[in-house]
Structure 1
Amino acid sequence: MARKRARQMRTDATDPEAIFWSHVRNRLLNGYKFRRQVPIGPFIVDFVCQERRLVVELDGFQHADDPHDLQRDRYLASLGYRVLRFWNQEIYADVQQALAHVVEVIEGRA
C-alpha cells in the first residue's frame, strides 16, 4: 500500500519537489544518490540519501508546528536518519542555498 502511494506521490510531485529533484536526481549533487517519495516504516519521505542516512522534507505552510512531523522526525532519528526540512518558499527563492546546506550536512560541515 505504501509503495503504491509513494509511486502516486512521485507522479503528483509539487513544484518545489520537482525543482529539488531536478538538482539531485542521477547523482547530480556531488555524486550522492537520492531517491524520492520513499516509504520508511509507516511514513513516506520526500527525499532520502540512504548512503548518508539523510532525509530531506519540503514543507508547505500546512506543516507549520505539525505534531505529525515531530513524530515522523523522532521515528526517523530512531532509525539513524538525520532530517532536514525546507519550506517550499526556500526552494522557490534559492534552491542553490538549500542544496549547499544539504551538501554541508552530508559532508559533516553543518
Structure 2
Amino acid sequence: MPHFEVPVRNRQNARRMRRALTEPELKFWNAVRAHRLMGLSFRRQMPIGGYIADFACAEHRLIIEIDGATHSLDKQIERDYHRDAALIALGWRVIRLTNDEVLNRMDDVCTHILKVIGIERFEEV
C-alpha cells in the first residue's frame, strides 16, 4: 500500500477541526473514543489521501462521515461522491451518517458500523 505524506496544511486543518467538533461529531466521538465500541480504535479528523475524514478506524480501513443538511444539496452530493470514490480507490470503506442519525439513533449507528466491519454486537459476556 503506498504511503502518502500528509501536507502541512491538512495536518493544521485537522488539528483545528478536532478542537471545533459539531454536536453530532462530539456525540459520536464520545461513543467510540478510547476503544468504547467493541475495542475498536477510531481517530477523529484524520487526514487521508488529501482529505480529512471525520472519523477513521485504520485497522478496518473504515471512514465515518457525519453530514449536516448541506450534504443534501446537489453540488455537495457530487463532491461527496468524488471524495468517496477517491477514498475507496485508496482501499477505504466510507459510511455516511446524518446528524439526525447520530443525535437520535446512536445505538443503530453503532450496530451498523459493527455489521459493516463484521463484528457481532451482542457477544456473551
TM bracket, shorter-chain basis: over 0.9
Per the alignment, do residues 42 and 21 of structure 1 end up closer, same or farther by CA in structure 2, a change over 3 Å counting? same
Write out the 4+ residue segments of structure 1 that deviate beyond 2 Å after TM superposition: none
Q: What are structure 2's unaligned runs of at least 5 residues?
A: 1-8, 121-125
Which residue in the other structure is 1:23 paired with?
Answer: 31
Matching residue's letter, 2:36: L
For residues 40-55 of structure 1, the aligned pairs below 5 Å read 40-55=48-63
Q: Structure 1 length normalisation: TM-score?
A: 0.95
CA distance in 2, matches of 1:108, 1:14: 28
The residue number in structure 2 matching 1:89 is 100
CA RMSD of aligned residues (A): 1.2
User: C-alpha displacement at 1:105, in angstroms?
Assistant: 0.6
Q: Distance in 2 between matches of 1:63 and 1:9?
A: 18
Residue 77 of structure 2 is aligned to residue 77 of structure 1: no
Distance 1:108 1:33 in 2: 14
Q: After superposition, what is the alpha-carbon deviation per residue over 1:29-84, rounded to whole angstroms, capped at 9, x for unaligned?
A: 10110000011121100000000010000000101142111111000100111100
Question: What is the CA-CA distance between 1:18 and the residue it aligns to?
Answer: 0.2
TM-score (norm 2): 0.84
What residue ranges of structure 1 are gaps of 5+ in the alignment? none
Kept in 1: contact 2:49–2:90 (CA 8 A): no
- Which one of 61, 73, 77 corresponds to residue 69 of structure 2? 61
How far residue 108 of structure 1 moved from its aligned partner, in angstroms, is 6.4
The percentage of counterpart residues that share the same residue type is 43
DSSP 3-state at the match of 1:22: helix
What letter is aligned with 1:3? R
